[in-house]
């Protein structure tokens, strides 16, 4: 057996590479991957200081990526001129214990007249898997599709990204791709996400969003489940847009949106528009409002949820009373009220007025 110095290793012959416990390494040199033209399997684990990984899409033979136990990793870079087909040979991605990973993004470099370089981060790509999940990746945005359930999870994205998504109102304009065209694993630019196929949408920790653009709802004609969680700057949510555009929506959960006060919004114009929506068009059966500290009562648009069967109110500490129209919810079978201040006291089984 011959031992070669590391600098003499013929990298172009390497098919499998495992990097583990690289001390004080925040970023791998891009030159390393430019030399690994035949690499098929890449595993990086327990590199606790690593914050980003250079473009891997320059590896045409890469079949497997495994990233594990890297608490500071935020981004995996994408080559500037790449489109949807990032990894032509990729079959498997394993991600575990990457709590800060946000996804794949393209870096664009601009050079001004003085020769100064400015790097812009843009074009977030999200992984789309036909089946599978990622583990302990709380900041990662992704899609997955299994048995006609198409889940889109968006975490910590900005308002301009939501606007970009919402511009694709018509199905034909949403994207040149569809879920049936995608392989086992595809990377989709955020601007090309086929919203009209999404059945489950999770919006989490939106950074600078005070309201959700109504155009976003117009593209979600097949949405059955909507979850809005930990969006602490969210202040406005249009009940009219929910009832008008989310005709297939069966379940809505709003959790820990501390600034969202549905009861204080000016609903007069909204209500006039809602009254023109046929009762048969609303299919919501479950509504959860949790951790909404500023809400004092239910917003008027809820009275038009004629198929609502379950209502959960929890940790809405300033809730005082239920509105007079509450009795119009004739399909309601389950009412759960807990830790909701005065309302919770009124709804006590033995002493309450609820």
* Secondary structure of 51-90 in HEC code, one letter for each residue: CEECCCCCCCCCCEEEEECCCCCCEEEECCCCCCCCCCCC
Cβ neighbors of 131 (< 8 A, separation 6 or more) are: 144, 145, 146, 184
Is a pLDDT exceeding 50 seen at residue 8? yes
State the residue for tokens 């304009």.
173
What's this model's pTM, rounded to 2 decimal places?
A: 0.84
Q: From residue 348, give the alpha-carbon distance in Å to each of 35, 112, 236, 322, 351.
A: 69, 67, 31, 14, 6
Characterise 104 by phi-psi region: left (phi > 0), alpha (psi -120 to 50), beta (else). beta
Q: Give 84-113 pLDDT, tens digit per residue.
A: 557 778 888 899 999 999 988 876 555 556
Choice between 117 and 194, residue whose per-residue pLDDT is larger: 194
Give the span between the Cα atoms of 39 and 89, in whole angstroms. 11
Q: Which of 271, 266, 218, 262 is nearest to 242 (CA)?
A: 218
16-30, 180-194, 278-292, 299-313, range with the lowest pLDDT: 180-194
Cβ neighbors of 181 (< 8 A, separation 6 or more) are: none
Is residue 168 within 8 Å of 174, Cβ to Cβ?
A: yes
Give the span between the Cα atoms of 183 and 174, in whole angstroms. 18
Is a pLDDT exceeding 50 seen at residue 120? no
Q: In this predicted structure, what is the pLDDT of residue 226?
A: 97
Choice between 332 and 238, residue whose per-residue pLDDT is larger: 332
Banded model confidence at residue 147, pLDDT cuts 50, 70, 90: confident
Q: Which of 145, 46, 134, 148 is nearest to 93 (CA)?
A: 134
């Amino acid at each position: 057996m011959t031992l070669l110095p590391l600098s003499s290793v013929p990298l172009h012959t390497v098919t499998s590479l495992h990097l583990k416990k690289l001390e004080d390494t925040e970023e791998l040199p891009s030159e390393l991957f430019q030399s690994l033209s035949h690499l098929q399997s890449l595993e990086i684990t327990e590199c606790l200081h690593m914050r980003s990984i250079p473009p891997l899409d320059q590896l045409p033979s890469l079949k497997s990526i495994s990233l594990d136990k890297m608490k500071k990793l935020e981004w995996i870079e994408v080559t500037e001129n790449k489109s949807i087909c990032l990894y032509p040979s990729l079959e498997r991605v394993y991600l575990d214990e990457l709590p800060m990973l946000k996804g794949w993004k393209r870096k664009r470099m601009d050079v001004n007249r003085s020769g100064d370089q400015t790097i812009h981060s843009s074009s977030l790509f999200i992984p789309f898997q036909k089946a599978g999940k990622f583990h302990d990746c709380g900041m990662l945005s992704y899609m997955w599709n299994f048995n006609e359930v198409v889940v889109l999870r968006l975490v910590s994205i900005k308002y301009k990204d939501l606007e970009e998504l919402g511009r694709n109102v018509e199905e034909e304009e949403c994207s040149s791709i569809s879920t049936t065209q995608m392989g086992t694993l595809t990377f989709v630019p955020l601007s090309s996400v086929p919203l009209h196929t999404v059945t489950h949408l999770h919006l989490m920790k939106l950074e600078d969003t005070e309201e959700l653009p109504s155009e976003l709802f117009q593209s979600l004609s097949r949405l059955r489940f909507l979850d809005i969680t930990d969006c602490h700057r969210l202040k406005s949510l249009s009940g009219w847009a929910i009832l008008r555009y989310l005709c297939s929506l069966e379940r809505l959960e709003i959790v820990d949106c501390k600034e969202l006060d549905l009861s204080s919004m000016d609903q007069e114009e909204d209500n006039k528009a809602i009254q023109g929506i046929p009762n048969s068009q609303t299919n919501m059966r479950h509504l959860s409002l949790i951790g909404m500290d500023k809400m004092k009562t239910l917003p008027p648009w809820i009275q038009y949820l004629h198929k609502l069967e379950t209502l959960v109110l929890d940790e809405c500490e300033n809730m005082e009373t239920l509105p007079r129209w509450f009795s119009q919810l004739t399909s309601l079978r389950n009412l759960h009220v807990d830790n909701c201040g005065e309302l919770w006291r009124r709804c006590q089984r033995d002493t309450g007025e609820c």
